[in-house]
Amino acid sequence: MIVYGSYHKPSCEMGLKHEFYHVKSIHDAVKYIRASSQRIKTFKQAMKDAAVETQRFLYGETPTRWNSTFELLRSTCDVKDTFLEYSHQAIKRNLTLLLKCA
């Protein structure tokens, strides 16, 4: 397949689109957590609860830095168990709020 004078393999293109979707999902999750001081505090508590032993925190992606996507992925790999604990805490909070409203 020739696109604008360059050669691209369709299978390679589809693979990159697939990987971009996952990186974008991670980017959006990190951006969501880092956008609020309360969510940062809750995430740090989840790090303690999940017994994650790293001093690294979520690295925000910076478009002007060539290695920011790598740093984003590396920081999320270090705290991957925390995301599960964070989601469990969010579910508990939401259930508590729903039960109070009922």
Residue 47 domain boundaries: 2-101
Q: Measured between alpha carbons, how far is residue 61 from residues 20, 21, 23, 34, 55 in Å? A: 14, 15, 11, 11, 18
Q: How far is CA 42 from CA 29, 65, 101, in A?
A: 14, 28, 23
CA–CA separation, 34 vs 55, rounded Å?
A: 16
Q: Residue 17: which pLDDT band, with cuts at 50, 70 and 90?
A: low
Domain total in the chain: 1
pLDDT at 1: 46
pTM score, two decimals?
A: 0.65
Position with higher pLDDT, 86 vs 56: 86
What is d(CA 92, CA 102) in angstroms, rounded to the nearest whole number? 15
